[in-house]
């Protein structure tokens, strides 16, 4: 069964298509806010093409999303009101905002909005039914949402790995299809897993090996090289017998990592670890720091109290050279604590190299997407910037994602 698309959804209604229909559009507008101001609008911008496509077809678009973790009850700091303003700016038109997610207030906001137009409902997670572990509670909330529209378009790729009311039960309750963003994400991820142009390099960083175990295991037989940075590199170094001082270490993963090192060697995959790291006196933006060889981290002036916060300059140059020479690259996870300028050089080097890839260079969402924007890169400098860190990783692990299966994706 093939993924249902907006085109196939419209065809169900004959010549009129989606004209006059109220489309419930599930987006992922879970953006970072500081004092009520959006600090990274990447996910809002990613929702715009599907909204414009639906408007062009004459639909009334009712956008739904979550933001943060408000624990199933209204919480002003997680309101989507600032997102409605930004979405209106990007669309060049007013976006009506409903202060309620379901019920008569939401229904009247939709009824009174200009048509065709755009309405944004308040945070879905203000209702406990959205993320409930109870099938019945999720279905009850999905039924309330379904009363507001005629059809559903699911386009929040960042949540398709979650079995939640607006992602799963609602999509199963009404005529439904995937939006343009989900289509694009799947096309890119399919290329990464089924038909990558070679050489194919994966760069993994971030803090924990345990977050990446599944993707390492699934991709090792498919790639030519795996480069490891970020906090997870210290568990790899420790697995090789090196002391890592006070650096982040998942001791319970050492045997698993040794298994991956052996498997990479058996498969002929280059598993590349840093040769040098930036070691600091502590975890702070202004901490004293030096560059040390990866096998001599405890030999610095900081001794056993030193903490590795970035890959070193030699490693950054080697990683960058490998990335820019590849035809397919998937990068997930920063190389260091990029939020601190003194420890952002490794992440910047990988990002710059990714912009030079003559093929497909993919930034795998999450912290990687946040890093490129904070470091001054634009999304259009890369082949693709994913909107779903966790969803992307689970897809690349080979897992079945409920929010895709309900759309017909096999």
CATH number of the domain at 207, please: 3.40.50.1260
Please check if 367 is assigned to a binding site: yes
Residue 30 shares a structural domain with residue 133: yes
Residue 251 shares a structural domain with residue 307: yes
**Dihedral sign of CA atoms 393, 399, 405, 409 in order:** positive
- For tokens 């009129």, the residue is 16
Q: Identify whether 121 is part of a domain.
A: yes
SS3 203: strand
- So which residues are the catalytic ones? 43, 208, 366, 390
Residue 169 shares a structural domain with residue 229: no
Last residue of a domain, one of 180, 202, 224: 180
Q: Identify whether 408 is part of a domain.
A: no
Q: Identify whether 26 is part of a domain.
A: yes
Q: How confident is the model at residue 393 (pLDDT cuts 50, 70, 90)?
A: confident
Please check if 308 is assigned to a binding site: yes
Taking the C-alpha atoms of residue 387 and residue 3, their distance in angstroms, rounded to an integer, is 19
Please check if 125 is assigned to a binding site: yes
pLDDT at 396: 87
pLDDT at 209: 82
CB 192 within 8 A of CB 328: yes
- Over residues 136-169, the pLDDT tens digits come to 999 999 999 999 999 999 999 999 999 999 999 9
Give which of 194, 233, 375, 208 is closest to 353, Cα–Cα: 375
Q: Identify whether 404 is part of a domain.
A: no
How confident is the model over 110-123, as a mean pLDDT?
Answer: 96
Residue 172 shares a structural domain with residue 192: no
What is the number of alpha carbons within 13 Å of residue 137 lying toward its C-beta?
12
Residue 206 shares a structural domain with residue 73: no
Residue 153 shares a structural domain with residue 226: no
Q: Examine the pLDDT at 1 and tell me if it is beyond 60.
A: no
What interhelical angle do 366-374 and 345-354 show, nearest 10?
A: 90
DSSP code of 165?
I
- The token duo for 200 is 């194919």
DSSP code of 104?
H
CB 334 within 8 A of CB 230: yes
Residue 257 shares a structural domain with residue 377: yes
- C-alpha distances in angstroms, 223 versus 54, 278, 280? 38, 28, 33
Residue 165 shares a structural domain with residue 313: no
Q: Identify whether 409 is part of a domain.
A: no
Q: Identify whether 401 is part of a domain.
A: no
Last residue of a domain, one of 121, 148, 180: 180
Q: What is the mean pLDDT of the chain?
A: 95
- Over residues 292-305, the pLDDT tens digits come to 999 999 999 999 99
First to last CA, the chain: 7
SS3 35: coil
Residue 12 shares a structural domain with residue 83: yes
Residue 122 is part of which domain span?
A: 6-180
The number of domains in the chain is 2
Give which of 199, 195, 233, 240 is closest to 216, Cα–Cα: 233
Residue 170 shares a structural domain with residue 313: no
Q: Examine the pLDDT at 80 and tell me if it is beyond 90.
A: yes
How confident is the model over 114-119, as a mean pLDDT?
Answer: 94
Q: Identify whether 406 is part of a domain.
A: no
How confident is the model over 205-215, as a mean pLDDT?
Answer: 86
Go through 221-237 and write b for each residue having 16 or more CB atoms within 10 A of its CB, e for each that does not.
Answer: eebbbbbbbbbbbbbbb
Residue 173 shares a structural domain with residue 300: no
- Over residues 215-271, the pLDDT tens digits come to 899 999 999 999 999 999 999 999 999 999 999 999 999 999 999 999 999 999 999
Please check if 265 is assigned to a binding site: no
Last residue of a domain, one of 157, 180, 203: 180
Q: Identify whether 407 is part of a domain.
A: no
Q: Examine the pLDDT at 96 and tell me if it is beyond 70.
A: yes
Please check if 67 is assigned to a binding site: yes
Please check if 29 is assigned to a binding site: yes
- Over residues 8-58, the pLDDT tens digits come to 999 999 999 999 999 999 999 999 998 889 999 999 999 999 999 999 999
Residue 262 shares a structural domain with residue 355: yes
- Over residues 312-369, the pLDDT tens digits come to 999 999 999 999 999 999 999 999 999 999 999 999 999 999 999 999 999 997 889 9
């Amino acid at each position: 069964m093939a993924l249902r698309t907006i085109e196939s959804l419209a065809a169900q209604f004959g010549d009129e298509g989606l004209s006059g229909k109220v489309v419930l559009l599930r987006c992922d507008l879970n953006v970072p806010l500081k004092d009520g101001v959006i600090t990274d609008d990447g996910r809002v911008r990613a929702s715009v093409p599907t909204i414009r496509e639906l408007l062009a077809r004459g639909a009334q678009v009712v956008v739904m999303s979550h933001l943060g973790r408000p624990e199933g009850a209204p919480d002003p700091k997680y309101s989507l009101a600032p997102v409605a303003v930004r979405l209106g700016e990007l669309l060049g038109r007013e976006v009506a905002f409903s202060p309620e997610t379901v019920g008569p207030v939401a229904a009247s906001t939709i009824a009174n909005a200009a048509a065709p137009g755009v309405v944004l409902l308040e945070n879905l997670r203000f209702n406990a039914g959205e993320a409930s572990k109870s099938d019945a509670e999720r279905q009850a909330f999905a039924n309330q949402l379904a009363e507001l529209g005629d059809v559903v378009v699911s386009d929040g790729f960042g949540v398709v790995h979650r079995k939640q009311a607006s992602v799963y039960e609602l999509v199963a309750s009404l005529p439904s299809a995937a939006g343009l963003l989900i289509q694009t994400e799947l096309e890119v991820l399919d290329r990464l897993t089924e038909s990558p142009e070679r050489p194919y390099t994966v760069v993994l960083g971030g803090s924990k090996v345990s977050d990446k175990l599944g993707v390492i295991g699934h991709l090792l037989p498919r790639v030519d090289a795996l480069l490891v940075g970020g906090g997870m590199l210290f568990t790899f170094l420790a697995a090789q017998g090196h002391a890592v001082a006070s650096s982040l270490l998942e001791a319970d993963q050492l045997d698993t990592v040794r298994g991956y090192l052996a498997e990479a060697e058996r498969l002929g995959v280059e598993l590349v670890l840093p040769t040098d790291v930036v070691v600091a006196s502590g975890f702070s933006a202004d901490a004293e720091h030096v560059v040390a060889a990866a096998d001599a981290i405890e030999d610095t002036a900081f001794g056993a109290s030193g903490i590795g916060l970035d890959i070193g300059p030699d490693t950054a140059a080697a990683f960058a050279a490998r990335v820019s020479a590849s035809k397919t690259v998937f990068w997930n996870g920063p190389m260091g604590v990029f939020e601190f300028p003194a420890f952002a050089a490794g992440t910047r080097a990988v990002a710059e190299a990714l912009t030079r890839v003559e093929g497909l260079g993919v930034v795998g969402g999450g912290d990687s997407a946040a890093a490129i924007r904070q470091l001054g890169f634009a999304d259009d400098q890369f082949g693709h910037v994913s909107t779903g860190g966790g969803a992307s990783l689970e897809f690349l692990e080979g897992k079945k994602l409920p929010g895709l299966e309900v759309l017909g994706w096999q």
